[in-house]
A and B are shown apart, each in its own frame.
Chain A
Amino acid sequence: MLPTITVDDEKCGDPLSCRKCLLICQTHVLGLGTSVGVKKYRETDPQYFVVRGVRFDKCTGCMDCVEVCPNNAIQVSFSEGGAR
């Protein structure tokens, strides 16, 4: 069964330095991306990093990431029959 993993980017300010959810996940489901493109001569500001459930097929539904998030930005749910 596949989960629906949603992250509220407004609440999740600087995941690159927080990384609590990335580190707590047993199966390394979560990953970082950016909401802006790679720019020439410029490093992406940490505020544009976002967390997504990239490897969501390995999510066991333990909810550790939901609980560890200091900003309550992560939601994980499983619904019968509905994939994500």
Chain B
Amino acid sequence: MCDWCEKYGDGYERWYFNPANYARRLYKIRREEAESSGAETNPQAAGGMAVIGPDFQEARDQGDLEKMQEIKQKAEAASWLTHFGQVITLEEALKIADMIYPIGLMTCSCRRSMQGYPSEENFTCMGMGPGMYKWERWPDTYRGGMHYLTPDEAKEVITKMNKRGLVQTVFTFGTPYLAGLCNCDYPDCAFIRTTVDFGIKLLWKGHYVAKIDPELCTGCASCVSRCQFKALNYSPSKNMAYIDQFQCFGCGLCVTECDQGAISLVERAKLPALANVW
């Protein structure tokens, strides 16, 4: 079982369907000093490197496995306590949009820091819950401003992002408080990149794993460009898509792209070898 569902699910099918995890009582008033002296303002932390410094890259370059493991464990522990994410499917994201209010569309700080996108081209992130009412206090975090969305508008925006090829994710801000619904891609999402490049799990895999029906797959390969996790390729010898299910994050982007209906999502929990691969 997913650790977070076990700890914070409280009987709900998923921890992110438990309304208590979005509740006001979990919202922490942002402290001025603690935040401004934190890693997020460190230039080296640009691109969401907040919990991993250059020492990890150096340790890996030197083949220092022990050091790498030590940094990984420390970074994961810190992230899981304060700010980490999990991949969700489009369907799950739409369900959340119906649960939580308010939802605000804002600019993505990862993409700003990695590509310097102008605000008007960068509205891909969503904030949820009581924190959104305070956004004007922190104009730098909400650079570009905030568009409040009705549940229907939010669902429309999420569906459009999915169509564009962006992965839906939820993020904690002081675990288990859920306040971010992001639409991410490799390599500019700091969380996807750190997780995929370094194997440091700041982004948990979702509750599903994609599966190909060999009878239905025509080998058109339209799904291949959808995978942001290096889990999907086209095999010319089979003339079919191939999914590395151990690497699959279960976002379902390949599923929504397949015109043949050849890809489906199966529950991670039902596959013994994958049930604990997060």
Contact = CB atoms under 8 A, between A and B. Distances in A.
Interface of A: 1-2, 15-19, 22-23, 27-28, 30-44, 50, 52, 54-58, 83-84
Given A31-B47, A32-B113, A57 B139 contact: no
A83 B114 contact: no
Interface in B36-57: 36-37, 40-47, 49, 54, 57
Majority-rule SS of B interface residues: helix
B62 interface: yes
Nearest to A38: B140
B112 interface: yes
Interface residues of B, number: 35
B197 to A, nearest CB: 8
B237 interface: no
A35 B46 CA distance: 11
27 contacts: A2-B61, A15-B116, A18-B116, A22-B115, A23-B115, A28-B187, A28-B188, A31-B47, A32-B114, A33-B46, A33-B113, A35-B43, A38-B36, A38-B40, A38-B41, A38-B140, A41-B136, A41-B137, A41-B139, A43-B140, A50-B43, A52-B43, A52-B46, A55-B47, A55-B187, A57-B57, A57-B60
Given A33-B43, A38-B140, A83-B58, A22 B32 contact: no
A35 B116 CA distance: 16
A22 B114 contact: yes
Contacts of A44: 140
Q: Which of B32, B61, B62, B114 has the most CB of A within 10 A?
A: B114
A35 B137 CA distance: 20
Contact of B61 (A1, A31, A39, A40): A1
Interface pairs A-B: 10 shortest CB-CB: A37-B36, A33-B43, A33-B46, A31-B47, A19-B116, A31-B46, A57-B57, A37-B41, A43-B139, A54-B47
Interface in B79-137: 112-116, 136-137
A38 B35 contact: yes
A69 to B, nearest CB: 14
Contacts of B140: 38-39, 42-44
Contacts of B188: 28
Contacts of A15: 116
Contact of A54 (B46, B116, B139): B46
